[in-house]
Amino acid sequence: MIKKEVLKNVVFDTIKKGSCCIPKDVREAFNSAIANEKTQKAKEGFGNTLKSLDLSIERMNPACPDTGWPLFFLKVGNEAKIEGGFMALEEIARNMVAKATKEGYLRATMKHPLTGYDPGTNVGMNIPHFTYKFVPGNDIEISYAAKGGGSECFGGTRYKMIAFADGLAGIKKFVIDAYAAAARAGAICPPAVLGVGIGGTGNIASALAKEAACLRLVGSHHPEEMMSQIEKDLYDSINSLGIGPMGSGGDTSVFSVNVEYAYTHIAGIAVALSSNCWIARRATTRVYSDGRTEELDNPNWFDGR
Amino acid sequence: MATYYLNVPLMDEDVVQLKIGDLVYLSGPAFTCRSRLQRYIFDEKNKLPFSTEQRNLLIHVGPIIVRENNDWRLVSFTPTSSIRFEKWGAKSVKEWGLKAIVGKTTMGEETAQAMKEHKCVHLSPQSVSPNLWLDSIKIEDVYLFDELGTIEAAWHLQLDKFGPFVVDIDCEGNNYFEGIDTIVEANKKQAYKDLNIPADFKYTKLY
């Protein structure tokens, strides 16, 4: 049985780490970009951002003042037991989001969509949001993603239903066109970690794209050859465009292209993309059934897909 | 490409010399704003409760600021996307007498036209580096805090070599990102070939 007291601490620390400390794989992507960029200006764009990100880890302040939509992804062991059940876990998560907001680890960004009412806590209707995945075992893995507003609002996240007749060419064209338009003038804070979802209903494709953007490591590949080839082709092509840091020109235009897919209806193919901004914030903690905890660099969300 | 260190209040001669692609650092007074302030002033017809004459630099930003020991502590600060404030851009330039706007992305045609007429530039960050900026910003005061809340209130700041920002719209109405657009569009042609997307590809119309 996992105790509430343990979960309170774990959830709070995971939110704090997710907002303040960029993951190791993202940090590596910055180092590669600094090494590969040809102009001093582009090197500085990456370099100054990385300097600030490292200071955020040292000072434990948010990596960016837009601390985004609070999203929880829970990988739950089929036999996992929580004191008070999963509704207690969700209540703890809401309380910890409010606490992290009050203490300045999150900005009070979530508001009523029509009235603009700001509760000052980042807690409201359907927010924070929870996504579950069930796996064998009795541990739970809690991932927190701070999903930035820029990468969500300017066309970096959208979907299109295409005909079978349009096939792979239609999929690739949609992704590259949509990404280039969204990255214009740095709107989505490029180079993004780009998640692509293929197949399923519109919302299945969109959820896969979001999870691929927020939970897969930069530079990771889908285990199936056909999918990893699409990832490589899109990665190379987008990086030939010249978008650069914050859209100001450069050799690095996307950090990673992560593709996931679902079987689809004979009627058509949903294609979705979800861009995560270049500082791609997330943190994952595993909680064992005996209450031990372990911070993980990799959410391993798609293990077993 | 040149680098400039400018002091606020900005004069016409300070900004007309700037060309797209130049880098700028700013010192002196500034104020912050995002959409709720502009809606409050321009749509809901309220009066801006301070003068912008000696403070003609606007920063589009939603900072994190917390109250500690009867004082404000700036936790994080990064310019936010200007393009979403396009609706009020031209009015802001004209009625507030702005000489520079700092914000992510860029502004649209109407604002660029107003910038040309009233001698104003738009400046855009190439990094997301709040910790490199925090030390160059001091909070002086805040207006409309109760009405608009901590993120959307008008914060008065005192800046010390705040930057660098790239000039993306100059006083001639040129836009830095249009140059990048041309490069991206040209590279896209080769990318389509590499991705086996036929030049005459058209989507089957589903809806």
**CA A61 – CA A63 distance, rounded (Å):** 6
Burial class (CB in 10 A: 0-12, 13-18, 19+), B3: exposed
How many structural domains does chain A have? 2
Total CB pairs under 8 A between chain A and B: 186
**CA B61 – CA B40 distance, rounded (Å):** 16
What DSSP letter does each residue of B3-43 carry, written as one string?
EEEEESSPPHHHHHT--TT-EEEEEEEEEEE-HHHHIIIII
Chain B hits for A119, CB-CB cut-off 8 Å, are: none
CB contact (8 A) between residue B76 and residue A234: no
Within a domain: B124:
yes
Looking at the structure, tell me whether residues A82 and A197 fall in a common domain.
no
User: Measuring CA to CA, which residue among B101, B103, B105 is closest to residue B55?
Assistant: B101
A162 beta partners:
A269
Rounded to the nearest angstrom, the minimum Cα separation between A215 and chain B is 21
Contacts 24+ apart (CB under 8 A), B2-5: B3/B164, B5/B161
**Residue whose structure tokens are 């919302």:** A203
Instruction: Output the domain CATH number for residue B141.
Output: 3.20.130.10
Looking at the structure, tell me whether residues A37 and A94 fall in a common domain.
yes
Q: Please write the tens of the pLDDT for every residue from A213-231.
A: 999 999 999 999 999 999 9
Looking at the structure, tell me whether residues A85 and A211 fall in a common domain.
no
- Give backbone dihedrals phi and psi of B16, rounded to 5 degrees, phi first: -70, -25
Alpha helices in B76-155 (DSSP H): 86-95, 109-118, 130-134, 145-152
Within a domain: B195:
no
B168: containing domain? 3-176
User: Measuring CA to CA, which residue among B147, B106, B104, B144 is closest to residue B126?
Assistant: B104
Nearest to B105 among A107, A165, A186 (CB): A186
Looking at the structure, tell me whether residues A233 and A292 fall in a common domain.
no
Within a domain: B200:
no
Q: Please write the tens of the pLDDT for every residue from B41-93.
A: 999 999 999 999 999 999 999 999 988 889 999 999 999 999 999 999 999 99
How many structural domains does chain B have? 1
Looking at the structure, tell me whether residues A185 and A261 fall in a common domain.
yes
Within a domain: B205:
no
Within a domain: B20:
yes
Question: What percent of chain A stands above pLDDT 90?
Answer: 98
Which amino acid appears at position A66 of this protein? D
Within a domain: B63:
yes
Q: Please write the tens of the pLDDT for every residue from A17-59.
A: 999 999 999 999 999 999 999 999 999 999 999 999 999 999 9
Question: What percent of chain B stands above pLDDT 70?
Answer: 100
CB contact (8 A) between residue A66 and residue B62: yes
**CA B27 – CA B177 distance, rounded (Å):** 25
Selected residues 32-51 of chain A with any CB under 8 Å from a CB in chain B: 41, 44-49, 51
Query: How much is the pLDDT for B28?
Result: 98
Tokens of A165: 């007749």
Q: Say yes or no to pLDDT of A304 above 90.
A: no
CB contact (8 A) between residue A249 and residue B166: no
**Residue whose structure tokens are 């490069």:** B183
The C-alpha angle with vertex A137 and arms to A131 and A140, in degrees rounded to 5, equals 40
User: What is the rounded radius of gyration, in angstroms, for the C-alpha atoms of chain A?
Assistant: 19
Query: How much is the pLDDT for B1?
Result: 84
> By CA distance, what is A250's nearest residue in B?
B180
A231: containing domain? 150-276
Q: Please write the tens of the pLDDT for every residue from B132-171.
A: 999 999 999 999 999 998 899 999 999 999 999 999 999 9
Chain A hits for B36, CB-CB cut-off 8 Å, are: 116
Looking at the structure, tell me whether residues A89 and A51 fall in a common domain.
yes
pLDDT band at B184 (very low <50, low <70, confident <90, very high): very high
Neighbouring CB atoms inside 10 A of B73's CB total 12
**CA A87 – CA A89 distance, rounded (Å):** 5
Share the mean pLDDT of chain A: 97
> By CA distance, what is A245's nearest residue in B?
B126
Looking at the structure, tell me whether residues A130 and A163 fall in a common domain.
no
Q: What is the number of alpha carbons within 13 Å of residue A297 lying toward its C-beta?
A: 9
Query: How much is the pLDDT for A213?
Result: 98
User: Measuring CA to CA, which residue among B78, B118, B84, B86 is closest to residue B102?
Assistant: B78
**CA A159 – CA A145 distance, rounded (Å):** 21
**Mutate which of A37, A40, A64 to disrupt the B interface (most B C-beta within 10 Å)?**
A64
Q: Please write the tens of the pLDDT for every residue from B87-116.
A: 999 999 999 999 999 999 999 999 999 999
Looking at the structure, tell me whether residues A190 and A290 fall in a common domain.
no
Query: How much is the pLDDT for B89?
Result: 97
**CA B205 – CA A82 distance, rounded (Å):** 50
Helices and strands, number each (H, E), in chain B: 7, 9
Coil, strand or helix: which one is B133?
A: helix
| Complex-level ipTM | 0.93
Nearest to A248 among B73, B81, B180 (CB): B180
Looking at the structure, tell me whether residues A235 and A113 fall in a common domain.
no
Looking at the structure, tell me whether residues A170 and A67 fall in a common domain.
no
Query: How much is the pLDDT for A116?
Result: 84
Looking at the structure, tell me whether residues A179 and A267 fall in a common domain.
yes
**Mutate which of B44, B60, B65, B131 to disrupt the A interface (most A C-beta within 10 Å)?**
B131
CB contact (8 A) between residue A242 and residue B180: yes
Question: What percent of chain B stands above pLDDT 90?
Answer: 94
CB contact (8 A) between residue B81 and residue A120: no
Looking at the structure, tell me whether residues A19 and A55 fall in a common domain.
yes
DSSP tag of B82: G
